[in-house]
């Protein structure tokens, strides 16, 4: 907890939530993207349409899902469709305005690795994989990315291309026939980044309160570029903080309850 009364992770989640609008149709990733999207829904964007990969449309979970298969998503959705329909009609049909993704590794052009760390055939670590993220990255009208900064995560060259961002930069997407915008926003626990209009390299446009340029560079694996006019991210409001904390508290309580029930069930069996 900082002297300002909130954690870097809370600042990241709230800054990410502010980027969303009520008329967005958002394809939501599990984890930090899910928290940001639901804070937006519970505060300034009550009409936002949240879609999860399992086929739930217009879902309004009371607690954050553990996975895309969490029953909470289906229980609170306007409707649930099949996964093929979700991808072919909704995503590839151009109906998703924002794809909200996380990353294990990220480079300066917004390319994402969630597949493997190290050599693919002999990896140091196998990650969960792409799931629907590769399709989300190319078919959503634009992509927002959120992740905590570290030199291990923000690297000069990712070990595996799971989800295509801006490739080698410039017009790489266009040259490949991809006509969506790709990554347009990166929100970390230290700063807000946007791609340079020409090179597409992520550039810091806003520092979170109390964060220095040196701190951003220390936790990034490439040479960071800063905007000529660097802003400071507004601190979280009491409503934003309370909404996020209440959501996390409900989630923790629900998941602890599930764990206790499962344990009791195994003993009874």
Digit-coded pLDDT (tens) for 28-67? 988 888 999 999 999 999 999 999 999 999 999 999 998 8
Residue ranges, the chain, pLDDT below 50 = 260-264
3-class SS of residue 117: strand
Q: Supply the pLDDT for residue 263.
A: 46
Q: Supply the pLDDT for residue 31.
A: 86
Q: Supply the pLDDT for residue 69.
A: 82
Domain regions of the chain by residue span: 8-268
Q: Supply the pLDDT for residue 262.
A: 45
Q: Which helix (H) or strand (E) holds 32?
A: helix 32-42
Classify domain 8-268 at the CATH superfamily level. Answer: Glutaconate Coenzyme A-transferase (3.40.1080.10)
Task: List the Cα angle 154/143/67 in 5-degree steps.
Answer: 80
The phi and psi torsions of 266 (rounded to 5 degrees) equal -70, -35
Q: What's the CA gap between 151 and 157, in Å, rounded?
A: 11
Residue 122, number of CB atoms within 10 A of its CB: 7
Contact call for residues 59 and 69 (beta carbons, < 8 A):
no
Q: What's the CA gap between 16 and 23, in Å, rounded?
A: 16
3-class SS of residue 258: helix
Q: List the catalytic residues.
A: 53
The phi and psi torsions of 124 (rounded to 5 degrees) equal -75, -40
Q: Which helix (H) or strand (E) holds 257?
A: helix 238-268
Q: What's the CA gap between 2 and 11, in Å, rounded?
A: 10
Contact call for residues 257 and 251 (beta carbons, < 8 A):
no
Q: Supply the pLDDT for residue 267.
A: 55
Partners of residue 21 on adjacent β-strands: none
Q: What's the CA gap between 83 and 85, in Å, rounded?
A: 5
Q: What's the CA gap between 160 and 227, in Å, rounded?
A: 29
Rg of the Cα atoms in the chain: 19
Residue reference for tokens 């480079």: 107
Q: What's the CA gap between 245 and 252, in Å, rounded?
A: 10
Contact call for residues 85 and 57 (beta carbons, < 8 A):
no
**What are 12's two structure tokens?**
């990241």
Strands 183-188, 105-106: pairing kind: unpaired
Q: What's the CA gap between 42 and 60, in Å, rounded?
A: 9
């Amino acid at each position: 907890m900082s002297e300002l009364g909130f954690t870097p992770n809370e600042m990241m989640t709230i800054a990410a939530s502010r980027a969303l609008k009520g008329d967005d149709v958002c394809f939501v990733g599990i984890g930090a993207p899910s928290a940001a999207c639901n804070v937006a829904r519970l505060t300034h964007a009550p009409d936002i349409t949240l879609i999860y990969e399992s086929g739930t449309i217009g879902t309004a979970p009371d607690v954050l899902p553990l996975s895309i298969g969490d029953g909470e998503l289906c229980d609170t959705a306007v409707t649930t469709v099949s996964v093929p329909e979700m991808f072919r009609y909704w995503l590839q049909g151009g109906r998703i305005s924002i794809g909200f993704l996380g990353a294990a590794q990220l480079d300066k052009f917004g390319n994402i690795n969630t597949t493997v760390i190290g050599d693919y055939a002999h990896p140091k670590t196998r990650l969960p994989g792409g799931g629907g993220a590769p399709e989300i990255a190319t078919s959503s009208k634009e992509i927002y990315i959120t992740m905590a900064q570290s030199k291990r995560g923000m690297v000069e060259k990712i070990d595996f291309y799971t989800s295509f961002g801006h490739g080698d930069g410039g017009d790489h997407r266009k040259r490949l026939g991809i006509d969506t915008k790709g990554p347009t926003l990166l929100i970390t626990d230290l700063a807000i980044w946007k791609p340079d209009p020409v090179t597409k390299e992520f550039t810091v446009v806003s520092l979170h309160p109390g964060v220095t340029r040196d701190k951003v560079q220390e936790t990034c694996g490439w040479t960071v570029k800063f905007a000529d006019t660097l802003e400071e991210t507004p601190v979280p409001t009491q409503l934003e903080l309370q909404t996020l904390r209440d959501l996390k508290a409900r989630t923790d309580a629900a998941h602890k309850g599930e764990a206790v029930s499962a344990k009791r069930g195994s003993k009874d069996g």
